[in-house]
Chains A and B, each alone.
Chain A
Amino acid sequence: GAVVSQHPSWVICKSGTSVKIECRSLDFQATTMFWYRQFPKQSLMLMATSNEGSKATYEQGVEKDKFLINHASLTLSTLTVTSAHPEDSSFYICSGTRGTGELFFGEGSRLTVL
């Protein structure tokens, strides 16, 4: 299957700082990328959908000014958590699709805000 890689896997930051998480499709061009948030022992909640070169579409209840998503190329999408607070601590997962109906997931990034 196709490979999606996230970086960093773990990040710890101080409250009030911003953190950027990268999601790369390594061997395919991802027409669309999705960002999810997963709380401990819970399901994945879709945060936003991003298409290359256009603004991301955010799910209801997700603050677009706090969670900035950029999809600069067909192989890279970034999620920036701005002015992070402890309640933003979570596991963030991205996935990419090449338009065939199958999603390929990254390894996830654990964010801890102190």
Chain B
Amino acid sequence: AQTVTQSQPEMSVQEAETVTLSCTYDTSENNYYLFWYKQPPSRQMILVIRQEAYKQQNATENRFSVNFQKAAKSFSLKISDSQLGDTAMYFCAFMKSEEDFGNEKLTFGTGTRLTIIP
């Protein structure tokens, strides 16, 4: 079974600053996907970024980037130039390889509540 750990229950940062959210995971799988999801106060989960484990290059999506360290089983999210709209709960999640497409079971971490301070 997979486990996902987010060791920072809450974080806050000034607007325009950079913040990094940490995530570690444990798995015996070699091929898998890692995700960061955002859950704003409106509650709807939104995909922020996705990383395939077989790719060495870190995924980026505008102001969001990840630092994926496969050997260390670490998957941190960096938010640059943070904005007030980034205030949300952030969940790190794990999914086994694409053989499971059509049955995409996600294992979520416990989340980090991020507050952007004006």
Q: Is the CB of B102 within 8 A of A97?
A: yes
Give the contacts of B22-45 with A (CB-CB under 8 A). 33, 37, 42-45
Nearest residue in A to B110 (C-beta to C-beta)?
A43
Given contacts A43-B111, A91-B43, A102-B50, contact A34 B102 (CB under 8 A): no
Contact count A vs B, C-beta below 8 Å: 56
Whole-angstrom CA separation of A103 from B44 in the bound complex: 12
Size of A's binding interface in residues, CB under 8 A:
23
Q: Which of A12-20, A82-90, A105-113 contacts B (4 or more CB under 8 A)?
A: A105-113
For the complex, give the distance between the alpha carbons of A49 and B100 in Å. 13
Given A31-B102, A43-B91, A101-B95, the answer on whether A93 and B45 have CB atoms closer than 8 Å is yes
Contact with A along B32-75 (1 / 0, CB 8 A): 01000100001111110010000000000000000000000000
Least CB separation from A45: chain B residue:
B108
Please indicate the chain A residues that have their CB under 8 angstroms from the CB of B106 in the complex. Answer: 34, 44, 46, 103
Residue of A nearest to B100 (CB): A101
Residue contact A42 to B110, C-beta cutoff 8 Å: yes
| Inter-chain contacts of B98 with A (CB < 8 A) | 101
Residue numbers in A under 8 Å from B43 (CB-CB) = 91, 93, 107-108
Q: How far is the CB of B98 from chain A (nearest CB, A)?
A: 6
Cβ–Cβ < 8 Å partners of A46 in chain B: 105-106
Annotate B79-118 by CB proximity to A: 1 below 8 A, 0 otherwise. 0000000000001000100100111111011110100000
Known contacts A101-B33, A107-B42; A32/B47 CB under 8 A: no
Whole-angstrom distance between the Cβ of A110 and the nearest chain B Cβ: 8
Which residues on the A side are within 8 Å of B37 (C-beta)?
105
In contact, B102 and A107 (Cβ under 8 angstroms) = no
B108 touching A43 by the CB < 8 A rule?
yes
Q: Which single residue of chain B is at the shortest CB-CB distance from A5?
A: B44
**Residue contacts A-B, CB under 8 angstroms, 6 given:** A34-B105, A44-B91, A101-B33, A101-B95, A101-B98, A103-B104
Across the A-B interface, give the 6 residue pairs with the lowest CB-CB distance, nearest first: A105-B45, A99-B102, A108-B43, A43-B108, A107-B44, A43-B110
